[in-house]
């Protein structure tokens, strides 16, 4: 493997971009890593070993994919941009343990992939995600109960912060609660903008989400709880009573949620009728959704 052109070397990245006349797509949030230490550290923090099947989301030109291939048993890399497929064919040519899937990750049946490639055992996910798609991807993986051991992702620094904060902070919201319901979150690395080409306007962070074996709270209807949580934060300046009673998403549910029902639930929980969603803990949201779901 000594004659592999590792792409974390900026010269090699520039060479391949020029060769294919590649144009960076803003809509896909494309920024390629050009720092070998960062790439190696992400793979190390993800805990990738020769026993692992790894799903990589957004391989770009294959910078991290190369290092994943050198450390994992097998890698599947899902890339949405068809213009990157010929580049990946070249940059990953030395490796025989990688499959590139040209598809939108939200349309990939990850469960089936885990079944086929890993005998249904939990897989490790590694990704460098643009801001706009972070939440749908993480939620999609967790809510569909795909067998995942951990997700190690690079995101905008404030998104990483949002995933691990508690009630009462400005960054606390539906994403914080969802992540904490399904996983233990820890920021493992801060990555300055200078480590990317082209250079983004913001710094990034790598956060590792290790899936809980058992969720920290019990709730009757997980899906309904997340409807309540989303409704609570859709209009976060409003009181919880107003946010929930105005929610289109909850109106469509069979639970018939009106202001009186919400006020009764808050009274049962010894909470003020003027409380806002951002003040509630995960356990309180679980209790509230159980009360609201009662016929």
**CB atoms < 10 A from the CB of 156, how many?**
19
Rounded to whole angstroms, the Cα distance separating 241 from 263 reads: 7
What's residue 201's pLDDT? 87
* Domains of the chain, start order: 10-211 (3.40.50.150), 222-293 (1.10.8.100)
Contact between residue 124 and residue 52 where contact means Cβ atoms under 8 Å apart: yes
**Between vectors from CA 273 to CA 272 and to CA 279, what angle results, nearest 5°?**
60
Q: Give CA 123 to chain center in angstroms.
A: 14
Q: Tell me, what DSSP letter sits at residue 54?
A: E
Those residues whose C-beta lies under 8 Å from the C-beta of residue 281, and which sit 6 or more positions away, are 166, 167
The per-residue pLDDT for 135 is 83
Rounded average pLDDT per 10-residue block, the chain, 295 residues: 84 94 76 92 97 96 97 97 95 97 94 94 91 83 89 92 90 92 95 91 94 95 93 91 89 77 96 96 97 90
> In angstroms, what is the C-alpha Rg of the chain?
21
Cβ pair 234, 215 in contact under 8 A: no
């Amino acid at each position: 493997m000594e004659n592999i052109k590792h792409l974390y070397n900026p010269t090699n990245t520039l060479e391949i971009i020029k060769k294919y006349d590649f144009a960076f797509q803003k809509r896909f949030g494309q920024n390629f890593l050009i720092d070998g230490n960062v790439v190696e550290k992400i793979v190390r923090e993800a805990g990738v070993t020769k026993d692992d099947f790894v799903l990589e989301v957004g391989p770009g030109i294959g910078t991290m994919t190369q290092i994943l291939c050198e450390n994992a048993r097998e890698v599947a890399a899902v890339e949405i941009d068809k213009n990157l497929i010929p580049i990946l064919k070249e940059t990953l040519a030395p490796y025989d343990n990688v499959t590139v899937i040209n598809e939108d990750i939200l349309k990939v049946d990850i469960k089936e992939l885990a079944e086929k490639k890993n005998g249904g055992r939990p897989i490790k996910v590694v990704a460098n995600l643009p801001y706009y798609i972070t939440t749908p991807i993480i939620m999609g993986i967790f809510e569909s109960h795909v067998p995942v051991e951990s997700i190690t992702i690079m995101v905008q620094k404030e998104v990483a912060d949002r995933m691990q904060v508690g009630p009462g902070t400005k960054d606390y919201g539906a994403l914080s609660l969802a992540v904490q319901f399904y996983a233990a979150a820890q920021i493992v690395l801060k990555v300055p903008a200078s480590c990317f080409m082209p250079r983004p306007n913001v710094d990034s962070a790598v956060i590792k989400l290790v899936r809980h074996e058992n969720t920290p709270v019990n709730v009757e209807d997980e899906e309904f709880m997340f409807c309540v949580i989303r409704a609570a934060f859709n209009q976060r300046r409003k009181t919880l009573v107003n946010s929930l009673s105005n929610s289109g998403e909850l109106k469509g549910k069979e639970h018939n949620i009106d202001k009186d029902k919400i006020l009764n639930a808050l009274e049962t929980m010894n909470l003020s009728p003027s409380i806002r969603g951002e003040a509630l803990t995960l356990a309180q949201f679980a209790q509230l959704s159980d009360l609201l779901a009662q016929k």
